[in-house]
């Protein structure tokens, strides 16, 4: 995963807080994905402006530990399932 790429949720996907289940959820056509808190934090930073490196830095500060593999592994999975697109221009 290129660290300079800027991830964003794919068109038609939405993340929101689910008060009933007390979790963040990712919503798409006919699909609901329940997110863990780290996943929700990563996706919350996928705004199409921040690069993967920016997200790693931000979460590293927030959690006070190294999160490179966690971030890129999570995003790779979501890219493969077309929840996230990465723009590189």
Partner 1 sequence: MIDGPLGLLAELTHACPLSCAYCSNPLELTKRSAEIGTDDWRRVLDQAADLGVLQSHFSGGEPLLRRDVVDLVAHAAGLGMYTNLVTSAIGLSRPRAEALRDAGLDHVQVSIQADEPVLSDRLAGISSFDKKMEAARLVKELGWPLTLNVVLHRQNIDRIGAILDRVEELEADRVELANTQYYGWALRNRSALLPSRAQLEHAEEVTRSARERLRGRTDVIYVIPDYYARYPKPCMGGWGARQLVVGPEGNAWPCLSAHELPLPRANVQEHDLAWIWRSSPLFSAFRGTDWMPDPCRSCERREVDLGGCRCQAFQLTGDMTRTDPVCHLAPDRGLVDAAVAEANSDGGPSRSPQEPAQEPVLVPVPALVSRPHRAD
Residues at the interface with partner 1 (CB under 8 A): 10-12, 14, 16, 18, 20-21, 25, 27-30, 32, 82
> d(Cα 78, Cα 44) in Å, to the nearest integer?
14
16: Cα within 13 Å, side-chain hemisphere: 8
Between residues 18 and 62, which has the closer beta carbon with respect to partner 1? 18
Per DSSP, helices labelled H in the chain are: 37-44, 52-63, 68-80
**Closest CB to partner 1 among 62 and 76?**
76
Minimum distance between the CB of residue 20 and partner 1, rounded to whole angstroms?
4
CB nearer to partner 1: give 20 or 89. Answer: 20
């Amino acid at each position: 995963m290129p660290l300079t790429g800027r991830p964003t949720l794919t068109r038609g996907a939405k993340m929101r807080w689910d008060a009933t289940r007390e979790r963040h959820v990712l919503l798409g056509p006919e699909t609901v994905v329940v997110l863990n808190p780290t996943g929700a934090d990563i996706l919350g930073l996928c705004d199409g402006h921040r690069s993967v490196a920016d997200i790693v830095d931000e979460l590293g500060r927030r959690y006070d530990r190294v999160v490179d593999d966690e971030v890129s592994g999570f995003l790779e999975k979501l890219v493969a399932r077309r929840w996230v697109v990465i723009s590189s221009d």
